[in-house]
Structure 1
């Protein structure tokens, strides 16, 4: 299982068919995380001030048709080199913040 954090409106507004975020066109891959802790770290680093809800996608790596490469210096992150088929998304859970609007802490 790998994880992807996405602003809620981007996920719900993506329509049917494979999910292809802007990073796929810009960088050639979809950024993912290896575990919940890494996904939450990304959510807080990248979307710390985001007013919109965030969604955590749980993706079955084996169900993807696109290549997944584990890349990075130090800690390796899974990068999906193609769109994410909706059939590969086994769960989509809204992240919540700590009391008082603090850090993203999980679904």
Structure 2
């Protein structure tokens, strides 16, 4: 299982389109080349580091890697520590999202 923090409007659009294509806050899959994801241990840190100033709820997507049509590659996300993060090299099909959790602010 991998996880992705989504803004509500982007997740609602994905439900209409059938695929999710937002890479990270303010960047699309087309712009970034992949969709940022995290492990169960990593997403809370990502939430506090990159979304602390977001005033609206976020949606945590629970993604089953085995249901994805796109490859997942674990790559170094922080060169200083060598920590790796899962990157999805293509859109996330709505059917690969096996659960969602609404996270109310604050996101610290």
Residue of structure 1 equivalent to 2:39: 34
Q: CA deviation at 1:13?
A: 3.0
Q: Distance in 2 between matches of 1:48 and 1:86?
A: 26
Give 1:18 deviation, angstroms. 0.9
Q: 1:102 to 1:46 in 2, by over 3 A?
A: closer
Please report the TM-score for the alignment, with normalisation by the length of structure 1: 0.84
TM-score by length of 2: 0.84
Q: Is the 8 A contact 2:60 2:102 kept in 1?
A: yes
What's the Cα RMSD here? 1.5
> Which stretches in structure 2 are left out of the alignment for 5+ residues?
none
Q: Give distance in 2, aligned partners of 1:19 and 1:102.
A: 22
